[in-house]
């Protein structure tokens, strides 16, 4: 099996290095204990992306302990759900996530969404108060890096004005149909690493004629073409699969390079469509 020994990493402004390829663990499509064990034991996956919302932190904790992989060799990201926003709630939610995962620190903790509903507070005030909790968890060492998810430029600008720590990473939908280059450029300028989710557009991009043509040309699968393209664009990439063979396939993306023209062809597929959410609902 041609699995890389170590995946390349991307440096965060916290001083830590996040593996560029991780395993998505969203609740859509279910959870497979065997697939996660296979990823850890046989595919050298060392980066796991979950969230309180996915309801599987405890199961992931069990799989990690069963796998025998050492805590210090893993990168674990989890996310704070908006129902837990506010200083006290966010602090407690983080400690609860650590307990469920069976760890005493997180590698990365993200505010899952920018929309906030705290009575008597504006969304901006709610985000700032919640972010203050993440900053304190970061100063205490409970979270080695902190970040946000689904934040647009104006959310990041407001946070910058109100807070001390600039988010180390922003995780946003990113695949050939959804390539928010203005946001990527903003993050690059502000030293915020761009994490991309849904790299396969939940499978929707895998039958596009351009992807099929490139898969044939490179002797790779459509999923490998999409993951390679995302990584080559410098994006931290977290495909999900509940199938052992697909996790293995999705890891085998370091032994080829897409030519500039082919990267450009995939870049051109952007039509702005979202496969997960409607941005008009984000305040
Ligand atoms: N921050 C956020 O708001 C947010 C939102 C959405 C997602 N995420 C994160 O991003 C991760 C990835 O996103 P996602 O799971 O929504 O979508 P995705 O990774 O783009 O696609 C996953 C889908 O593709 C299928 N698949 C995986 N590998 C394949 C392959 N090699 N060939 C064919 N089909 C394949 C999977 O099915 P099988 O399981 O049957 O293989 C699953 O249905 C999530 O798991 C989550 O960790 C974050």
Q: Is 201 in the pocket of ligand 1 (CB under 6 A)?
A: yes
C-alpha 276/C-alpha 150 separation (Å) is 11
Residue 114 lies in a domain: yes
Residue 4 lies in a domain: no
**Average pLDDT across the chain, whole number:** 95
pLDDT at 5: 63
DSSP characters for 78-127? Answer: EEE-GGG-SHHHHHHHHHHHHHHHT-S-BSEEEE--S----TTS-HHHHH
Query: How sure is the predictor about 4, in pLDDT bands with cuts at 50, 70 and 90?
Result: low
Residue 75: other Cβ atoms inside 10 A: 22
Nearest CA to ligand 1 atom 13: 198
- Which structural domain range is residue 164 located in? 15-269
Q: Is 176 in the pocket of ligand 1 (CB under 6 A)?
A: no
E-strand ranges in the chain read 9-11, 17-19, 23-24, 47-49, 75-80, 108-111, 146-149, 169-173, 193-197, 236-237
C-alpha 238/C-alpha 16 separation (Å) is 18
State in Å: Cα 240 to ligand 1 middle: 4
Query: How sure is the predictor about 1, in pLDDT bands with cuts at 50, 70 and 90?
Result: very low
C-alpha 93/C-alpha 179 separation (Å) is 31
Query: How sure is the predictor about 214, in pLDDT bands with cuts at 50, 70 and 90?
Result: very high
State in Å: Cα 36 to ligand 1 middle: 14
C-alpha 103/C-alpha 185 separation (Å) is 34
Residue 1 lies in a domain: no
pLDDT at 6: 80
Give the mean model confidence (pLDDT) for residues 16-36.
97
Catalytic residue flag (residue 197): no
Nearest CA to ligand 1 atom 23: 202
Give the mean model confidence (pLDDT) for residues 120-136.
97
Closest by CA position to 174, among listed 108, 273, 251, 26: 273
Q: Is 224 in the pocket of ligand 1 (CB under 6 A)?
A: no
Closest by CA position to 147, among listed 180, 174, 111: 111
Q: Does position 277 have pLDDT exceeding 70, yes or no?
A: no
C-alpha 98/C-alpha 91 separation (Å) is 11
Q: 278 in helix, strand or coil?
A: coil
Residue 175 lies in a domain: yes
Q: Does position 254 have pLDDT exceeding 80, yes or no?
A: yes
Number of domains in the chain: 1
Residue 281 lies in a domain: no
Q: Is the pTM here over 0.75, yes or no?
A: yes
Those residues whose C-beta lies under 8 Å from the C-beta of residue 240, and which sit 6 or more positions away, are 23, 24, 25, 26, 29
H and E: helices and strands count for the chain: 10, 10
State in Å: Cα 191 to ligand 1 middle: 27
Ligand 1 atom with least separation from CA of 201? 20
Residue 6 lies in a domain: no
What are 97's two structure tokens?
A: 């996530």
Residue 278 lies in a domain: no
Q: Does position 271 have pLDDT exceeding 50, yes or no?
A: yes
Residue 241 lies in a domain: yes
Nearest CA to ligand 1 atom 43: 202
Ligand 1 atom with least separation from CA of 275? 16
pLDDT at 281: 54
C-alpha 38/C-alpha 44 separation (Å) is 9
Q: Look up the CATH number of the domain holding residue 66.
A: 3.20.20.100
Ligand 1 atom with least separation from CA of 30? 39
pLDDT tens digits, one per residue of 91-120:
999 999 999 999 999 999 999 999 998 999
């Amino acid at each position: 099996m041609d699995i890389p020994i170590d995946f390349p990493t991307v440096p965060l402004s916290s001083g830590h290095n996040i593996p560029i390829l991780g395993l998505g663990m969203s609740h859509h499509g279910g959870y497979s204990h065997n697939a996660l064990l296979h990823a850890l034991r046989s595919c050298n996956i060392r980066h796991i992306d979950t969230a309180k919302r996915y309801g599987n932190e405890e199961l992931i904790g069990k799989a990690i302990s069963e796998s025998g992989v050492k805590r210090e060799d893993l990168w674990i990201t989890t996310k704070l759900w908006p129902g837990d926003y506010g200083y006290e709630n966010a602090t407690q939610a983080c400690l609860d996530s650590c307990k469920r995962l069976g760890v005493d620190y997180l590698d990365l903790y993200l505010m899952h969404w920018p929309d906030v509903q705290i009575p008597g507070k504006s969304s901006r005030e709610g985000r700032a108060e919640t972010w203050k909790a993440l900053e304190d968890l970061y100063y205490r060492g409970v979270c080695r890096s902190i970040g946000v998810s689904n934040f647009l430029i104006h959310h990041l600008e407001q946070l910058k004005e109100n807070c001390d720590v600039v988010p180390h990473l922003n995780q946003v939908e990113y695949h050939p149909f959804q390539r928010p280059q203005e946001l990527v450029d903003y993050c690059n300028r502000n030293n915020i690493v761009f994490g991309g989710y849904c790299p396969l557009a939940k499978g929707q991009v895998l039958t596009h004629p351009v992807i099929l043509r490139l898969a044939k040309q490179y002797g790779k699968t459509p999923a490998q073409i999409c993951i390679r393209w995302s990584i080559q664009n410098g994006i931290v990439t977290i495909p999900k699969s509940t199938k052992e063979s697909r996790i293995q396939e999705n890891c085998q993306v370091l032994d080829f390079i897409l030519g500039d023209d082919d990267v450009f062809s995939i870049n051109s597929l952007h039509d702005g469509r979202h496969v997960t959410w409607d941005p008009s609902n984000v305040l």
